[in-house]
Structure 1
């Protein structure tokens, strides 16, 4: 059984919150530990937002409970009325994450039959200790920049493999199936990398690092284009002379594929191939026309694939 870093931080935050609550002689001290458990998030920003929203939610819960309990008495019926008002208000203001924890704190008013300032202060101190220790626990987050760079390299190797399979798959339906498998693996890997990049971004307080998130988003867009190209592979049946240029283009892209390749030279190569196709003899029949049209569509999709990288490179330069 593996114990993760978040588990360790949650244990420390909860234990310290309960210890400090007891040290300060607060009522219902264990509640501070429970709040800490519920407040340790996956990222620094997520924990900060959780802390802020729960404090705001507690203010709203206390105001609603004050009127409900003082008007209807400190009893289960008034607590039900409180929930009837508090839950819709929380949902409306998108504070539903604090419904459970703050309703538990509100029961302390019910148990004490009082809204004395000491009791109100007690509840806000419990909340402050819980979310405060969770924030402190999350000040340390491992830097995954190195991991993301390694995943960039893996993704580029997978792209090279896929482009090579596309080149082999032209006029070869069996090879196209291998490309479909690789495309599925690449899509799944990119999805996981995007999640990590977003987590990396949200763990930076002041200066956001959008480089990794933008990179994986760009590659995700490219793999979706390649998926459409793969779907065309088994529909293209033309003479070898017409696919030779396209195969050369794919092989060249595979060899030069990488983060630092801005794609501009490949766009020039695409333009040269397009001119060659324009000079080709016209199709002799409907079958040949439809297959040439699919090949042209294949080339247009690949142009979009390269243009996606060019746009990304332009944004980096800006």
Structure 2
């Protein structure tokens, strides 16, 4: 059987390091069940900082609830497997009701310590509290380091822009010649890439505790909206019954646009060009056949869609390049 290639990632390294540190600290200060500090750390290492904080909080609260249950069922009742099972039967729905169900495993660790000790003393409570502080605290500390993913997001951004340029360029060829051997694969590639990029951008948001927005997420969301417009335009272009004079004007506009798909925000100038294009349309002779009339109607619809396309970009703040400029419209 062929083994799958495996690379040790940051999360794996942080889990190993965190578990080792937690166990060492718990053992150093002489805690009972010190190895459990490593288990609690492992349970709290999450893919993002925010998820790690939420996990630590949820597990801490669930563990404190577990101690309360243990006091009621064990100290006021008896230490017996049947009592333990009945308590868990009631304990899980309580955690679910309060939204702390993901803390069950860590709280079960604490619960079994109390069951094993057969005596809930102040010293044991302090021992379990210290295990939680060391275990969850170590996880939070080691998880504060997250590698930057901006370079990867920049690569995705540049690739989306390249794909959009290709789409507009191929559309221009079709408008000018009435045919093209373009397969349209860039449309599907764009959709998949934007979906992947938005997921990664959201992860970047989750890695900043005080940040709730992300310029990359807004960027790819904007591109996704534009892609929907492109997907509406293309059927209209391929369905043009005849090539009319106005078709070449639209082709010139799209060709110009294909050469200026970047991350900046100067869409105003292209909206101005689109206004001039509409003015040129108005000055041209009226269609003298039904097919030309239909072609004109479709071209006008395309122009309206392109105006929306540019307005979406116009409302976007844009990226700054290395010189601090916003270089492009599309």
Change in CA separation of 1:296 and 1:131 when aligned onto 2, cut-off 3 Å: same
Query: Match for residue 328 of structure 2?
Result: none
- Give the drift of 1:205: 3.7
Q: Give the TM-score normalised by the residue count of structure 2.
A: 0.84
Q: Does 1:264 align with 2:268?
A: yes
Change in CA separation of 1:171 and 1:65 when aligned onto 2, cut-off 3 Å: farther
- Separation of aligned partners in 2, 1:288 and 1:119: 87
Change in CA separation of 1:153 and 1:66 when aligned onto 2, cut-off 3 Å: same
- Separation of aligned partners in 2, 1:80 and 1:174: 72
Query: Match for residue 15 of structure 2?
Result: 10
Q: Give the TM-score normalised by the residue count of structure 1.
A: 0.87
Equivalent residues of 2:244, 2:295 under 8 A apart: no
- Separation of aligned partners in 2, 1:189 and 1:102: 40
Query: Match for residue 85 of structure 1?
Result: 90
Change in CA separation of 1:67 and 1:148 when aligned onto 2, cut-off 3 Å: same
Query: Match for residue 161 of structure 1?
Result: 166
Change in CA separation of 1:53 and 1:303 when aligned onto 2, cut-off 3 Å: same
User: Aligned-pair RMSD on alpha carbons?
Assistant: 2.7
Whose helix proportion is higher, 1 or 2?
1
Equivalent residues of 2:165, 2:261 under 8 A apart: yes
Give the number of aligned pairs.
Answer: 315
- Separation of aligned partners in 1, 2:188 and 2:65: 48
**Runs of at least 5 residues in structure 1 that lack an aligned partner in the other structure:** none
- Separation of aligned partners in 2, 1:283 and 1:314: 44
Query: Match for residue 198 of structure 2?
Result: 194
Query: Match for residue 126 of structure 1?
Result: 131
Q: Does 1:294 align with 2:311?
A: no
Change in CA separation of 1:289 and 1:84 when aligned onto 2, cut-off 3 Å: farther
Q: Does 1:55 align with 2:70?
A: no
**Runs of at least 5 residues in structure 2 that lack an aligned partner in the other structure:** 1-5, 321-330
- Give the drift of 1:251: 0.9
